Amino acid sequence: MNQLELLNPYNPSEEIPLSPFHLFFMGTEPHIFEPLIKSLPPQLVLSLSYLTLKNISQKIPIGKNKPLENPALIVIHENKLDALLIKCLEPLKSRPSNLKIIIFSDEFSVSLAQKAAYLKADLIVEKTIHVKEFTHNLAKLFSSKKLLNTTISNTSALIGDSPATNLLRNQIFQLAQTHSTVLITGESGTGKELVAQEIHRLSNRSQHPFVALNCAALPENLLESELFGHKKGSFTGAFQDSQGRFLSAGLGTLFLDEVGDMSLSLQAKLLRVLQEKQVRPIGSTKTYPLKARVLAATHKNLTDLITKGQFRLDLYYRLNVLPLKVKPLRERPLDIVGLADHFIKKFNKAHSSKVTNLTEETEQLLKDNLWPGNIRELENLFERILIFKKKGQIQVSDLPDHYRVLNFDNKNKIEIPPEGVHFYNLVTNFEKTLILKALEKTNGNKNQAAKLLHLNRTTLLEKMKKLFKEK
């Protein structure tokens, strides 16, 4: 008999009662649901109906927030989710709280997750797993223990309303629905570990451990032991058995930060674990199954390291199954105000201050800065300010000297401070700001950005190569 697989670690010891519900199916071929129908205990199904685009409005109380008298489940096959049909299903986004939606799929894809997110679906189901796991997760779906956080705005740890950050929230939600390896790239200080934590939090592994390890923080021999574990006596100083991070993550998530700093010999051992899904501690003859999901991050350009022979190509392909790039803060200046408010609240509490907000001029100066240290640099700046400033608004005079960049938006407001300015640094910063703002406005399209700046495209590319050291 065909069975179903849920994208969720199954805990058979966690029993949740399942109340009877109404069951609805949508698909071009009704027979594909027959194994599912046969697998469900008859006493759980109050009624069974097939939905079409014509009868859905009569059978389902869409657009109403009042809960149904009895719970209901709609199972939609992925073949009903093309661009035209998904628009017709849009009213399902506003539905009673006890009306749940499952997307039934032959194989998971990021595109499918995007469609599921658009419909605010509660679960994505693949083929082939035991019926007990399916009913168990149905019970979780209808209980207070919600299976998935399907509201993207719930990723509250990500602060900001720029298009780049909103896109990142959507990507995090999509990737959280899979078990595949994710490679997170971005400059230092952009929040790659926070992104990894959000993927874990929104996944079905969120009740299991999130284990992080900075691969650049330990020498090779200690890093190997930390990753794979060891047996007592396997090397000098191994006074007891150690489980290692792979195994201690259990059914949760293992986050390998700065994976680009790993030695080639350790890369080979990591590749073997990812390929075989088996972990062998140092000094042991026994292997253990790898059940955790692996997320990796680096601020380095791995393709450059591969060219230089410093990173394995085969490991790169193993890690880069689902790539995710976190943009630097200079490319999302609209996030500055939200981040500033967050840090003011955080450090007001830490230092017993009563700072309120930024002045408009200060806000603009912060937006115009390039932030080579990204969010980490911004956070450090606000902690420094709030240690010395105990109340009121943050003025331009509260900023360290190198943040006081002239505001070119209004020529009449240009002022040179008493200590003077570094002319060439200022002009360079202004050129960078103009180019970044043009690229942001054109969603990264260099041709359109050149037109906005009234430059030839080749001139813009040369300036970008010089200013940002683009390769």
3-state secondary structure string across 48-96: EEECCCCCHHHHCCCCCCCCCCCCEEEEEEHHHCCHHHHHHCHHHHCCC
Q: Per-residue pLDDT tens for 425-464?
A: 777 777 887 888 788 778 788 888 888 888 888 888 888 8
CA distances from 124 to 68, 108, 114, 364, 467 (A): 23, 8, 11, 44, 45
pLDDT score, position 162: 85
What local confidence, expressed as pLDDT, does residue 64 receive?
52
Domains defined along the chain, listed by start: 4-142 (3.40.50.2300), 163-327 (3.40.50.300), 330-468 (1.10.8.60)
The confidence score (pLDDT) of residue 146 equals 42
- Give CA separation, 55 vs 62, 68, 69, 99, 385, in Å: 12, 18, 20, 17, 62
DSSP 417: -
Question: How big is the CA angle at 76 (ends 73 and 81), to the nearest 5 degrees?
Answer: 145
- Amino acid 415: pLDDT: 55
The position carrying tokens 């509660």 is 122
Q: Between β-strands 278-279 and 391-394, what pairing exists: parallel, antiparallel or unpaired?
A: unpaired
Which residues, given as ranges, of the chain have pLDDT below 70? 1-18, 30, 61-68, 79-80, 83-87, 107-111, 113-114, 126-137, 140-141, 143-156, 405-422, 469-471
Between strands 123-127 and 4-6, the pairing is antiparallel
**Residues 292, 297, 301, 305: what is their CA dihedral angle, to the nearest 10 degrees?**
-50
